[in-house]
Structure 1
Amino acid sequence: MSDGARVIVGVSGSLHSLTALHRAAEEARARQAVLVPVLAWTPVGGERNYRARPCPPLLRAWQELAEGRLEQALGQAFGGLPIGLPSQPMVLRGEAAAVLTGLADRPDDLLVVSSGEQGGLRTGLRRALRRSVARQCLKRARCGVLVVPPSTLHEDLRALHRGIDLRELAAA
C-alpha cells in the first residue's frame, strides 16, 4: 500500500453516493490506497439553531443515526466493509463539502463525490436552495477530485418510479 495514500468518498446513503462509493473502492484498489467513506451530518435545523437551543441527548441520537446510515450504505454497497481493501469509515459533524475538503488535505489524496441528481424540476429547486457539494469540493479541494456521474441504472429506476414500463424503454 502507498504510504498514506487515501481515497476519501462522500457518502449519504443515496443511490448516487453508492455509485460514487463503488467508484472510490475501484480507485483505492488501483492506487493501493485506504478507502475512507465519510458521512457528514449537521443537527436538524442547522448548527445555528442547535447552538441557540442545545440538547446533548438529541445530538447523540443524531450522531448514532448518522453512524447507522453509513453502516447501512456500506452494507448496501458491499455487504459491510469491502473485503481486501483497507477502510476507515468516518462519521463527522459538519457541512458535507467543508468536512470532505478539510479531511482530504494531502496532495496524494483523491476526493470522490457524486454529481448528484441530473435534471428535473425538483432537482433544479433543490439546487437553487443549496449549493452542490460536488461544486463546492471542486472549488475548495487541495487534492484531486473525481466527480462521479449517476449510473445509467438511475434512469431506469426513475422510469420505474414514474410508472413507465422498462420494456418500452428497451424497445425504443
Structure 2
Amino acid sequence: MLRRTYDGQVCSIARALEVVGERWTLLIVRDALSGVTRFDGFLHRMPIARNVLSDRLNGLVEHGVLERVRYQDRPPRHEYRLTARGRELAPVVLALMAWGDRHLPAPTGPPSVAEHEGCGGTVHTRLVCDCCERPVPPNAVVRRSGGVATPPGPAAG
C-alpha cells in the first residue's frame, strides 16, 4: 500500500494508513462490508481502473483485511471476503459516513443508512468510557503517550 510515507513515525494511525490510507481502499472495504465479494462487483459500484482495483485488493489480502477464495476453476476466479480484521473496520467506515452526512450532506439526504440487521434500528458509532461506561464527547478525549518513545517534532500521530 503506501510505501515509506510514514517512515520515522511511531504512530498507530500512520501504521493503519499504510494499510487503508490509499485512495479507493476504504471504499473497497465499504463495499465489502455491504456484501460485495467479486472483482466485477467492486468495478460496478465505483469508477476505479481495473489495475488499481487489482492492486488494492492484493494489498488488502496481503495485510489480512480480505481473503481470496476461489469460486470457479475454469477460468480461475476468486471472491474477496472480509476477514475478522477487515470486519473490525466497520466502525471506522460508519464514523466516516456519519461525519460526511453531518458535514458534507448530499442535497437529497444521506445516500445510505446503517441499520441493525436484527431489528432495523439505526446503528451509530459512539465514544464510550470503558471505566464509567458513559458517552464521551470528542472534545473530552485526550491522548496520552503509551510509554513508547516517539521521534522529536510534530510527526507523531
Superposition TM-score, scaled by structure 1 size? 0.27
Q: Which has the larger radius of gyration?
A: 2
Q: Which structure's relative contact order is higher, taking Cα pairs within 8 Å and 6+ residues apart?
A: 1
Superposition TM-score, scaled by structure 2 size? 0.29
Higher helix share: 1
